[in-house]
Structure 1
Amino acid sequence: MKSALLCIDLQHLFAARGEGIFASGENCRFTKKEQDYFFERLQHQLLPNVQKLQATFRDKGIEVLHIRTRSKTRDGRERTFWQKRMGLLATPGSREAEFISAVAPQGDELVINKTGYGPFGNTNIHALLVQLDVKQLYCCGVHTNTSIESTIRAAADYGYCPVLISDATAAISQTQHDSSLERLQDHCSEIIETDKLVEDFEQHLRSVG
């Protein structure tokens, strides 16, 4: 069963302090405490683990796909109702659409631009995964309770085997993160941590080598 690593919404809209949904001002809906928690986890756990995962998948020739929120139009008129209501807009060429440099695509890795929380239903991801003969999806990125959870639930319904990498994902609070894991585990996703996944990959290669 072929696998792929899905790196989800690791862009300035969702994962940069003082930008996107974290821009300062009266429209920012996150408290300082929530932001401090999120960016502490992002810098010291999530990004290093995603880098480790990307390096492992690349080294083993396994697909690394980058999924981001980005409209096709300048005004984002094709976005979902809820993206419009939440004010989520990343247009072509915008700062909000840029990937976080530490975990950005390399070479000819595939980039999928979505206009909803998850990519199934508003992108060609299903057709693409069929063409790549991929059935197992390892998911990392942000935010656990929105884009990650939406992607995993839809992937399971489409017949894929999703795996959530718990220490390579983050929500705005530990409670929201843990609640998502509880909802997903053994219902539509397996859950694993980065070091265990890397160790399993290495053991598998040794056993078939």
Structure 2
Amino acid sequence: MNWKTAYRSFYYDGAPEPPDLSLPAAETALLSIDVQNAYLTPSDDPKEKRRWAPFSKRMHEIVIPATANLQNRFRQHGIDVLHARIACLLEDGRDRSLSQKKPGWNYLMMPKERDDSQIVPELAPHEGEIVVTKTTDSALTGTNLRLVLQNMGIRNVVLTGIFTDQCISSTVRSLADESFNVILVEDCCAAGTDELHRHELEILNMIYCHVITSQELIDLMGI
């Protein structure tokens, strides 16, 4: 099974395979979303630490290494690498969207200068790379990213990051609505559980994006 046949939902079960992807370097950018210290710091609560252990394992053993590899390959071939992170612009968080103010796990209070809001060192932006700070789930809705991508002549956005069923999903849908061609890299993303991750990929694939592995992308682009 390859990217043309994997992650099929009910709607696309038995549908024809999509055509080959064309991703010219000048029209393509890699965007990494929300891989920040806050999400990779183990909880002080032993129960929560155990509950999130599979996510942490996937991030450290699969997602971060695969994403770092892709970022470096894009840089070596002169293809733009961009970054988005979630953070408050104000210390009291009044600027956050409603989804980030709701009680429970989604409640996010991460002032932009604080250490936990920074991108993890392994995926830290290189000098001169664009970083947008968002106060919404979607990196497009909450920033000037749409305008930036259009000004750069970007038509194809390769997405990596977390969480597949939340900020990744919101960004994929926003980009698709603005007629960007979205490529979602399966092994460079994660949700709270593998089940949530896979389910969201099936929902998004072939409607809002094409889901592909990092190795398939590397082979396809020749990078």
- Same fold, TM-score > 0.5, yes or no: yes
CA displacement 1:98-122 (0-9 Å, x = unmatched)? 1100111011100000001112222
Matches within 5 A, 1:1-209: 1=24, 2-14=27-39, 16-18=40-42, 23-25=43-45, 31-85=48-102, 86-202=106-222
Structure with the bigger percentage of helix: 1
Identity in percent: 28
Q: Letter of the 1:88 partner, please give it.
A: L
How does the TM-score come out when normalised to structure 2?
A: 0.83
CA distance in 1, matches of 2:87, 2:97: 12
SS in 2 for 1:186: coil
Q: Letter of the 1:3 partner, please give it.
A: T
CA displacement 1:128-156 (0-9 Å, x = unmatched)? 00111101010001111101111001100
How many equivalent pairs are there? 195
More off after superposition, 147-156 vs 33-42: 33-42
RMSD: 1.6
Shift of 1:70: 1.4
Q: Letter of the 1:6 partner, please give it.
A: L
Shift of 1:13: 2.4
Shift of 1:31: 4.0
CA distance in 2, matches of 1:39, 1:143: 12
Shift of 1:12: 1.3
Specify every segment of 5 or more residues in structure 2 that has no aligned partner in the other structure, as ranges.
Answer: 1-23
Runs of 4+ residues over 6 Å off in structure 1: none
Shift of 1:200: 1.4
CA distance in 2, matches of 1:180, 1:132: 29
Shift of 1:17: 2.5
User: 1:117–1:146: 8 Å Cα contact kept in structure 2?
Assistant: yes
Shift of 1:32: 4.1
More off after superposition, 32-41 vs 109-118: 32-41
Specify every segment of 5 or more residues in structure 1 that has no aligned partner in the other structure, as ranges.
Answer: none
CA distance in 1, matches of 2:122, 2:142: 27
